Amino acid sequence: MRLLIDTDTAGDDCFSIMLAARHPGVTLEAITICNGNVDFQCQVENALKTLEVSGLAGRVPVYAGCRKPLLRKPVEAAYVFGLDGMSDRNYPPVSQRPAPDHAVDAIIRHVMASPGEITILAQAPLTNLALAVSREPAIAKAVKHLWIMGGTDQGLGNVTPAAEFNFYVDPEAAQIVLNAGFPISLVTWTLTLEAAVLTGQDLDQIAALGTERARFFTEVNQAAVDFCLAKYGTTDTIHPDSFACACAINEAVITAAENCLVEIETASTLTRAYSSISSARLPPREEADPALGVAPAANARVIKAGNRQLYRDMMLACLA
């Protein structure tokens, strides 16, 4: 699989890159950085550092992308990941530097140079992808597949009850990307609350591996552990980005999925970025209210259940 990862590199974003870098049969071809979790330049450095720890120093270009959402003020999540996104380890910069091109240009160039070949994993707000497909709409049909970590499946977000972080930060971008005609699979925050948990025991086993990668994982994950302990009284941590990566590179992780119409709320304040997801259990909406008309066709395969144990085993294998 030829993979491009679009990321707001902090915490679990790094573990997703490590999983892709180490998994047999995956060629990580490029990393593009989007506004999101923490200070933009920190995110660039975090991606470069993660490549070095993964044994790919100087072999995967990192392109800096959009520093702000399309319309909204930036929103960060340093309160979860630390100011640097790496549990405030403040690692010194590595020798690889970012590639000169803008991420939006790099996405278009990589996809259009190899139509039907490139899989994209989008694990950040969708600003880069929205601009790329607006500038070159042909990428929607030229990608092999677009994996998105974002949104909620019938509620329970991590910013508001309605909204998950990636969609909340740039709802207009999410709306553009979901309506652009990409072949999409969606991994929601709701799914990851059960399927993407690494328990305190799993984290102990990772620490016991004793490798440089495992040590890096444990250091970078510390802020999430502290956050979960303070907020929820548990050392279990949730890993939506690396779980989405696991689904993308190993279909066996997916145990249930449904083709759905996913629509993003952009007008409301209360439900900003809510992802409305259709369900076969609902009546046709034109029957419920003829004024609604017939719904558009499904635009995404929504992952409904995953194999947590297999995801966990993949993470341990990549860190060993």
Residues of this chain that bind Ca ion (CB under 5 A): 8, 13, 123-124, 241
Would you name the residues annotated as active-site residues?
239
CB of 30 to Ca ion, least distance (A): 16
CB of 179 to Ca ion, least distance (A): 22
- In terms of CB distance, is 54 or 278 closer to Ca ion? 54
> Cβ(184)–Cβ(173) under 8 Å?
no
- In terms of CB distance, is 42 or 124 closer to Ca ion? 124
Nearest CA-CA partner of 89 in 216, 206, 196: 216
CA distance to 10, 32, 46, 236, 309, per residue, from 22 (Å): 19, 18, 17, 24, 18
Token output for 141: 């049909």
Determine the Cα–Cα distance for residues 299 and 180; give it in Å rounded to an integer: 9
Kindly give, in sequence order, each residue whose CB lies less than 8 Å from that of residue 237, ignoring residues fewer than 6 positions away: 197, 198, 203, 221, 224, 225, 228
Kindly give, in sequence order, each residue whose CB lies less than 8 Å from that of residue 230, ignoring residues fewer than 6 positions away: none
CB of 185 to Ca ion, least distance (A): 16
CB of 112 to Ca ion, least distance (A): 25
